[in-house]
Amino acid sequence: MTTTPNRPTTLLPGRPPVVDQATWQAARDELLVREKAHTRAGDALAAERRRLPMVELDPTVEVVGADGPVPFLDLFQGRDELLVYKHMWHDGAPHQGQCEGCTVSAWQLQDTAYLRARGVSFAVVTTGVWDEVAPYVEFMGYPQPWYSVRDLPEPVGGDMGAYACFLRDGDRAFLTYATTGRGVEPGSASFALLDMTPYGRGESWEENPAGWPAGQGACWYWRTDVDGNGTWGPTGRPTPQWTRPGVTPETTLGRHGAHH
């Protein structure tokens, strides 16, 4: 059932016009042309990405995981390709005090079966000491392999909050690609799905029709108060996954004085 174009409604001011199905389809088809161009431009960028030069690294450098120190080469799990997410860490912080943005990324990367099916292994690395990382991983219930890369330089360690891709050639390993900032968004499907919805991501930087609901600022998913308003104050609580069954939402960051 479709809405009659001229029927009065109580929808918010600034809403797009209400039209019949044929008019909507014509506008949708026009946008689809631009969407396809965007997709093809992305394909072209991906092709350039696959042609980037590589950096060889020492595959014997040791990282620390559930089985103790292991060479970085073990993260490939016998496969030729490896995707790593570099998770930021706040030393000495309780579980709810760990990096807000990185917990969003890690939470949405729990099932990597389709990466493995394509010959790509996945792991999370972080600068936290393993004695702190291990109980956090257990508490969150993460199935991915995690490793501490404490004090290791790039490309194994270094700056966190990023993806890094590696290629194995026998007992040699190479860095092929890395990205950070909004470059990590592909791993969080929620962003792309929200971009399809009428109100989008609900962030203040987005361009919306006049009168549309105001956004909550960038990274609303990091910290909100009990009413869902973005805040970094003492009443802020962590990202949405902390309300999962069996876990009581924390009301403080719990990391005063802790360092990154």
Query: Is 80 exceeded by the pLDDT of residue 161?
Result: yes
Name the residue among 100, 110, 102 with its Cα closest to residue 126. 102
Name the residue among 255, 196, 185, 189 with its Cα closest to residue 223. 255
Mean per-residue pLDDT for 95-114?
88
Query: Is 50 exceeded by the pLDDT of residue 257?
Result: no
Q: Which two tokens stand for residue 67?
A: 């089985």
- Count CB neighbours of 241 within 10 A: 15
Percent of the chain with pLDDT over 70: 79
Query: Is 70 exceeded by the pLDDT of residue 94?
Result: yes
Residue 212: the pLDDT is 84
- Domain covering 49-186 in this structure, CATH number: 3.40.30.10
Residue 210: the pLDDT is 82
State phi, psi for 143 to the nearest 5 degrees.
-85, -15
Mean per-residue pLDDT for 213-242?
67
Residue 2: the pLDDT is 45
Query: Is 80 exceeded by the pLDDT of residue 105?
Result: yes
pLDDT 10s digits, 2-15: 444 455 555 667 78
Residue 1: the pLDDT is 43
- Count CB neighbours of 191 within 10 A: 18
Q: What pTM was estimated for this model as a whole?
A: 0.86
Percent of the chain with pLDDT over 90: 63
pLDDT 10s digits, 24-57: 999 999 999 999 999 999 999 999 999 999 999 9
Average pLDDT of every residue of the chain: 86
Q: How far apart are CA 76 and CA 141, in angstroms?
A: 22
pLDDT 10s digits, 166-198: 999 999 999 999 999 999 999 999 999 999 999
Least confident residue range of 82-96, 120-134, 212-226: 212-226
Q: Is the dihedral of CA 68, 162, 127, 97 positive or negative?
A: negative
Residue 203: the pLDDT is 84
Query: Is 50 exceeded by the pLDDT of residue 19?
Result: yes
For tokens 């991915």, name the residue: 144
Domain boundaries, the chain: 49-186
Q: How far apart are CA 194 and CA 216, in angstroms?
A: 14
Q: How far apart are CA 237 and CA 221, in angstroms?
A: 10
Q: Which two tokens stand for residue 42?
A: 């992305």
Query: Is 90 exceeded by the pLDDT of residue 220?
Result: no
Q: What angle do CA 107, 111, 113 make, to 5 degrees?
A: 160
Mean per-residue pLDDT for 132-144?
93
Residue 215: the pLDDT is 75
